């Protein structure tokens, strides 16, 4: 079954005449884990902004599960089942990981229950399962401010999953993490990919190698090439634009 979760046609986004996204075409199957890479300024974040409704394009079509989502506002698109994790963790630092997850689980159903209610039995089971999945069962009841950066990233990914989105968008989840933390986040995304459609934007090539199945390379707002990590890495155009610019970024 190759149902498309996301289909994007002829997408163009201009900022005062500059095309951050330029006639971009892209599609993703339901259940896929896709990594989107590209040099700084390639348009990766703008691409995610369009999918979540934060930025509206000048031209093109965006369909989520076959439905045109362009007319909808950001919060409406979130309700339709597109969840986004921003680059920096946004967890409640004074609350414990368990409490953060309980809020996310319940928020999906009823805001008042989330604020004032006690978690139901099934919610408690879900939260315990999520704590296991994100590897924080042993730190479930300490304030989140005591977690490492990598643990906070995993907690936030758990909070995203608690909202049961059909499509998870994850923007640079390993920026600033140690190698060990990076691997833990990679393993978490691989585990979640068993049962979710996930798009990851990433810069860290080691990490991309760890998780990537199909990779899309963006350059100047358009798709430069797509394929397996090996195919993409050996494509002369990618070597020129991506690795060239990484070199610049390093100096």
Q: Which residues pair with 37 in a beta bridge?
A: 217
CB closer to ligand ADP out of 33 and 42 = 42
**Nearest-approach distance from CB 49 to ligand ADP, in angstroms:** 7
With CA atoms as reference, report the closest residue to 217 among 79, 39, 8, 90. Answer: 39
Q: Should residue 14 be labelled a site residue for ligand ADP when binding is judged by CB under 6 A?
A: no
**Nearest-approach distance from CB 40 to ligand ADP, in angstroms:** 5
**Nearest-approach distance from CB 15 to ligand ADP, in angstroms:** 3
Q: Should residue 43 be labelled a site residue for ligand ADP when binding is judged by CB under 6 A?
A: yes
> In the sheet that 59-64 helps form, which strands lie side by side, from edge to edge?
18-29, 4-15, 59-64, 67-68
> Residue 11 carries which DSSP code?
E
Q: Should residue 45 be labelled a site residue for ligand ADP when binding is judged by CB under 6 A?
A: yes
Residues of span 107-126 touching ligand ADP by CB under 6 A: none
Residues of span 129-158 touching ligand ADP by CB under 6 A: none
In sequence order, what E strands does the chain have? 4-15, 18-29, 33-37, 59-64, 67-68, 82-85, 167-171, 197-201, 214-219, 222-227
CB closer to ligand ADP out of 38 and 135 = 38
CB closer to Mg ion out of 38 and 53 = 38
What is d(CA 105, CA 126) in angstroms, rounded to the nearest whole number? Answer: 8
- Work out what residue 15 binds among Mg ion, ligand ADP, none; the CB cut-off runs from 5 to 8 Å by kind: ligand ADP
| Contact criterion met (CB below 8 Å) for 198 and 33 | yes
Stretch that binds ligand ADP, among 24-32, 37-45, 78-86, 97-105 (CB under 6 A): 37-45
Q: Should residue 45 be labelled a site residue for Mg ion when binding is judged by CB under 5 A?
A: yes
Structure tokens at 155: 């907690």
Nearest residue (beta carbon) to Mg ion: 45
Structure tokens at 111: 């805001």
Stretch that binds Mg ion, among 37-45, 60-68, 143-151, 160-168 (CB under 5 A): 37-45
State how far the alpha carbon of 189 is from the alpha carbons of 63, 86, 227, in Å: 24, 15, 19
Residues of span 203-242 touching ligand ADP by CB under 6 A: none
CB burial class (10 A; 0-12, 13-18, 19+) of residue 175?
A: middle
What is d(CA 198, CA 195) in angstroms, rounded to the nearest whole number? Answer: 9
Site string for ligand ADP, 17-36 (x = CB under 6 A): ---x----------------
CB closer to ligand ADP out of 96 and 222 = 222
């Amino acid at each position: 079954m190759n149902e498309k979760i996301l289909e994007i046609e002829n997408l163009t986004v201009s900022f005062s005449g500059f095309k951050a996204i330029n006639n971009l075409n892209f599609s993703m199957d339901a259940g896929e884990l896709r990594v989107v890479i590209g040099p700084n300024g390639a348009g990766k974040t703008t691409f995610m902004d369009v999918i979540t409704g934060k930025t509206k394009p000048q031209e093109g079509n965006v369909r989520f599960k076959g439905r045109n989502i362009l007319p909808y506002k950001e919060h409406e698109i979130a309700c339709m089942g597109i969840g986004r994790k921003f680059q920096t963790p946004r967890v409640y630092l004074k609350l414990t990981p368990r409490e953060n997850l309980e809020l996310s689980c319940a928020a999906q159903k009823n805001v008042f229950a989330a604020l004032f209610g006690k978690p139901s039995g099934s919610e408690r089971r879900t939260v315990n399962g999520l704590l296991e999945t994100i590897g924080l069962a042993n730190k479930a009841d300490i304030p989140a401010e005591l977690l490492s950066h990598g643990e906070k990233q995993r907690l936030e990914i758990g909070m995203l999953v608690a909202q049961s989105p059909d499509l998870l968008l994850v923007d640079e989840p390993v920026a600033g993490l140690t190698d060990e933390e990076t691997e833990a986040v990679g393993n978490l995304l691989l585990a979640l990919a068993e049962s979710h459609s996930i798009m990851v934007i990433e810069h860290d090539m080691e990490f991309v190698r760890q998780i990537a199945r199909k990779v899309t390379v963006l350059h100047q707002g358009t798709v430069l090439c797509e394929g397996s990590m090996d195919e993409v890495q050996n494509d002369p155009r990618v070597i020129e634009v991506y690795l060239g610019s990484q070199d610049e970024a390093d100096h």
